[in-house]
Amino acid sequence: MNDTPTVDDRRNQLVDRIVADRPLPAAVERALRTVHREEHLPGLDPADAYTDQAVTIKDNPSGPQPLSCASVPSVVAMMLAQLDAQPGEHVLEIGAGTGYNAALLAELVGPEGEVTTVDIDADVALHAREALNRTGYERVRVMERDGLRGAPEFGPYDRMIATVGIWDVPAPWWQQLADGGRLVLPLRWRGQTRSVALTRQGGRLVSDGMELCGFVPVIGQNGERTAELADGTIRLHYDQDQAVDSGLLADVFASPFTEEWSNAHVAGDESFDGIWLRATAFDDSVCRIEVTQEALGQGVRRPAIPVRSPAVVVGGSLAYLIVQRDDDTAQRPFRLGAVGYGPDGPDLARRLVSHITAWSQDRTAVPHMTVLPAGALLDDLPAGHGILKEDCRIVLDYERNSA
């Protein structure tokens, strides 16, 4: 008797694991069990196609991140649940990837619906086209196109979804999403990324949920900046509207540091990214710090996560999130705090601790987000904390979501 799982077994086992962690709409679960991911990843062992991991399909010769990859299946499922595509709808996907997500969308909208997927890279678009043809989804429209332009000739769309990281909501998308239509995108601000579900209500987009995620950034948006410190062993990643001056911070890590500790504790497998999210809704100084092993070896205080921890930066001082094991007998043995460098480091560390404390009082809360075109009148802005990008304004508000 051969007990080796078949490809179908592996597909269903993966979906079983995803559903056990996060209940899905029946239509999304059915699509995941129907579409053959391995057919979109030729040359890969089918067993590897059904692990909950991303798979690179095109490397980037000029950087560490791939040009294109097949997204983590559980993230694909989460975003499709956010999108809530219905039979007969017209859907636009930005980022064709392997064509796998477009095939799932085709299952969701059915034969009466339409799916258009676009990708700026000719090789990626061709890969998607061939995979979709091979698996019986010839009706999906694949276009080699800058996704920031969308595909107005086939709009308006009931649903739009981006499967690449987006720093700004491009102006052309506003005209292509029908009023009442839904947009799901991995939106990046202040160094962190959330998959945000937005519904168009006239001249604005309003959220009803956001989830932590990470995606390869879209080509053509350059709103994030990087400041290299300590001979390039430490990097700050910040938005173009933030006043970060690397010259003022040149010697900041040569100064003594100050630690401040909160009363908040976490378990080893407990996410604390909500601290970062909450801080962005109140504090314009929040960005991301990346500390290399070389810097750690030179005595720089270890961030909570060396490659991606929230920091606050003002002038020639900064502070960032740290963690230490506090009580091995407790259910949550790790204590959260902040370390500050520079003359105002202690004050900034206390500021970050205040964000930790606020998060700890309601760890699952997420802000309400309103997105408006960049030219929207100030009188039209809802109450909350505003972040200005090139093509849009974002307003974040925790009070509204807790009401």
Provide the domain count of the chain. 2
Asked whether residue 369 is assigned to any structural domain, the reply reads no
Catalytic site residues? Answer: 71
Q: How far is CA 319 from CA 43, 219, 295, in A?
A: 46, 31, 16
Same domain assignment for residues 181 and 230: no
**179 and 301 share a domain?**
no
Q: How far apart are CA 83 and CA 88, in angstroms?
A: 14
109 shares its domain with 44: yes
Which pLDDT does position 67 carry in this prediction?
A: 47
Q: Are 364 and 296 in contact (CB under 8 A)?
A: no
The residue segments making up the domain with residue 77 are 7-212
* pLDDT value for 403: 46
Segment holding 131, helix H or strand E = helix 122-134
Pair of tokens at residue 78:
């989460």
Structure tokens at 57: 């399909």
Q: How confident is the model at residue 152 (pLDDT cuts 50, 70, 90)?
A: very high
| Sheet strands (E) in 127-284 | 141-144, 157-162, 177-189, 192-201, 204-212, 224-229, 234-239, 257-266
- The yes-or-no verdict on residue 272 having pLDDT over 90 is yes
Structural domain ending residue among the three candidates 180, 212, 244: 212
Q: Indicate whether 383 belongs to any domain.
A: no
Rounded average pLDDT over 134-139? 96
* pLDDT at residue 29 greater than cutoff 50: yes
Residue 307 lies in a domain: yes
Residue 219 lies in a domain: no
The answer as to whether 397 is a domain residue is no
Are 41 and 55 in contact by the 8 Å Cβ rule? The answer is: yes
Q: Same domain for 111 and 27? A: yes
Instruction: Show the tokens assigned to 373.
Output: 């075109």
Is beta strand 392-397 parallel, antiparallel or unpaired with respect to 368-373? antiparallel
Residue 140 forms part of a structural domain: yes
Distances in whole angstroms, Cα of residue 402 to Cα of each of 205, 318, 364, 367, 398? 19, 31, 11, 9, 6
Q: Are residues 254 and 124 in the same domain?
A: no
Residues 6+ apart with CB under 8 A from 49: 10, 37, 38, 41, 55
Where do the DSSP E strands lie in 190-256?
A: 192-201, 204-212, 224-229, 234-239
CATH number for the domain that contains residue 22: 3.40.50.150
Does 137 lie in the same domain as 202? yes
* Residue 348 · residue 363 · CB < 8 Å: no
**pLDDT (tens digit, 9 = 90+) per residue, 164-207?**
999 999 999 999 999 999 999 999 999 999 999 999 999 999 99
- 335 inside domain: yes
394 versus 222: the higher-pLDDT residue is: 394
Q: What is the mean pLDDT of the chain?
A: 92
